[in-house]
Amino acid sequence: MLSKLYKALGIEPEESGRMTLLLVMGFFMGMFIACLSVAAQSLFLEHFPDQEDLATAFVVSGLFALTATFVYNFFQNRVPFILLGGISLLIVISFTALIEFGEGVFSDPDTIHYIGFTLILPFTFITLLVFWGSFGRLFNLRESKRLLGSVDAGFLIASLIAFFSIPQILKYVETAALYSIGLVSIIGYFLLFAILSIRFLSHGASLAEEKRKHQKLGFLQIFRVRYVFYMSIFVIITMVALRFVDFSFLQTTQIYFDKNYVPTFLSYFEAVVVIFSFLFQTFAADKIVSMYGMRVASIINPILTGLFTVGALLLGLSFGYT
């Protein structure tokens, strides 16, 4: 049974141990991100109805995410990846536990919901950095190209299962209980990372070899390498557009839906987004890159981003939400 599954995913027998751990890690990561995002967004919208609170929270969340990725990037190649990844995940676990059990720590109980919302982005970035950092160190370039689609599909399927499961779970528990599921998921993710590190990563490249292999560009060098410069500009513009869309979406959700239905709506909506991402990646993205190369794929991305942004704007205007 497993051999047929591995064959369908393009996994060689000698890669099965590493890939199994990665796929299960992807499942726990998907559960963690899904439960955290639905719980944090729903509880924030319930306790902070003011539009200015939402706008400020987006700014704070962005600053937290920027700080987290800067610190992670600073220590990368300065300390072993196993240590960096382990400490990063322990910090995520600690703050998740604070969100779950620390309501009495603050004089205003709503503060914990504000913190939970602002930590969605940095937690997502850190868990993804650890996951893909592990993947990049477990396989060589040729293996990575062959297995990338399978690993990414595994993560998307896990996220899909999580988002469709949440509405059923909410029939029996309150929204805040999703934090408990998220905490269990991130602990499972950390334990699997520890097993992966002991069994496979500890026998990999030394810190000195990693420094030679993963050379980082200085800040000024970003402006000198045209590809990196233009890609950075594209990512910045895309993220700004995404933040505006997210803000408008959450604000409209807060107005349109009853607070008790918001978690269910967010779960199903995120599930639809995951389905679209999976279909586009499986049947379009890989084929475009293989048939036409990165140049055409790089041109298509901003065009699609612009079309979807304009479409969202027109749809919002047609329903009276700007």
pLDDT band at 36 (very low <50, low <70, confident <90, very high): very high
DSSP string, 133-193: HHHHHHS-HHHHHHHHHHHHHHHHHHHHHHHHHHHHHTTTS-TTHHHHHHHHHHHHHHHHH
Summarize pLDDT for 89-141 with one digit per residue, the tens: 999 999 999 998 877 777 777 889 999 999 999 999 999 999 988 888 887 77
pLDDT at 68: 92
pLDDT tops 90 at residue 190: yes
Over the chain, what is the mean pLDDT? 81
Nearest CA to 56 among 205, 247, 238? 247
Instruction: Give the other-Cβ count within 10 Å of 168's Cβ.
Output: 10
- Residue 207 in contact with residue 77, Cβ under 8 Å? yes
What pTM was estimated for this model as a whole?
0.84
Q: Where are the domains of the chain?
A: 15-318
pLDDT tops 80 at residue 206: no
Mean pLDDT of 1-30: 73
Summarize pLDDT for 230-273 with one digit per residue, the tens: 878 878 887 887 788 788 788 888 777 777 888 888 899 888 88
Least confident among 27-41, 204-218, 232-246, 290-304:
204-218
Higher pLDDT, 308 or 218: 308
pLDDT tops 70 at residue 1: no
285 to 23, 72, 131, 135, 296: CA distances (angstroms): 21, 29, 21, 20, 11
pLDDT at 125: 92
pLDDT at 293: 67
Task: Give the integer Cα–Cα distance in Å for 146 and 10.
Answer: 7
pLDDT band at 300 (very low <50, low <70, confident <90, very high): confident
Mean pLDDT of 63-86: 88
pLDDT at 240: 82
pLDDT at 19: 80
| Token reading at 140 | 């060589």
Task: Give the integer Cα–Cα distance in Å for 287 and 309.
Answer: 24
CATH of 15-318, one of 1.10.150.120, 1.25.40.10, 3.30.1490.20, 1.20.1250.20: 1.20.1250.20
pLDDT tops 60 at residue 322: no
Summarize pLDDT for 120-131 with one digit per residue, the tens: 999 999 999 999
pLDDT tops 80 at residue 154: no
Task: Give the integer Cα–Cα distance in Å for 280 and 152.
Answer: 12
pLDDT at 119: 93
pLDDT at 182: 92
